[in-house]
Amino acid sequence: MSEFKLDFEPTTWSFPQRNRIIAGLSDYLFLPEAKEGSGSLITVDFALKMKKKVFVAPNQLFSANGGGSNHLISQGKVSLLTDFEQLLGAFVPKVREKSVVLNDLTPRERELVDLIAAHPEQEFSAWISQVVWDFGEALSQLTLLEMKGVIVQRSP
């Protein structure tokens, strides 16, 4: 997605606008590594202004590539990411506790809803591994179910 025409060539000055869109479309932001002055820090700034949760992985103390990440952590404005499970936990949907007209679901949506309802304690990756479709389609089905209000993401 972009505010620019289809044939627009990216420029240094246009990246912050793209970063704003990325931050706006995201529920969470994960920053594995960023140098001081990195463009990734612009995305983090947008996400924080939009009250989005930002996860940052700590970097080695003397790593030039992680100075920006470590600085964010020291400011206390972001969530320190200590293990991968913590990050996955933010993306685990659960079945919503309200009445939903399930008769309007496609067979694939129904299969995924039944799987989630039968194993609500499992994480996203476990559900995906239990369906026979490819990862992209399973992720797409989860997104559609969330958009329809059938499932919601659980807060970390």
Looking at the structure, tell me whether residues 41 and 100 fall in a common domain.
no
- The domain in which residue 118 lies consists of 92-153
Looking at the structure, tell me whether residues 60 and 24 fall in a common domain.
yes
**pTM of the predicted model as reported, rounded to 2 decimal places:** 0.56
Give the contacts of 107 (CB within 8 A, at least 6 positions apart): none
Looking at the structure, tell me whether residues 76 and 102 fall in a common domain.
no
pLDDT in tens, 81-116: 887 777 667 665 544 444 445 667 888 888 888 888
Looking at the structure, tell me whether residues 32 and 61 fall in a common domain.
yes
What does each C-alpha distance from 67 to 8, 19, 58, 129, 141 come to in angstroms? Answer: 32, 20, 9, 36, 38
Is residue 74 in a domain?
yes
Number of domains in the chain: 2
pLDDT in tens, 107-141: 888 888 888 888 877 777 777 777 777 777 877 88
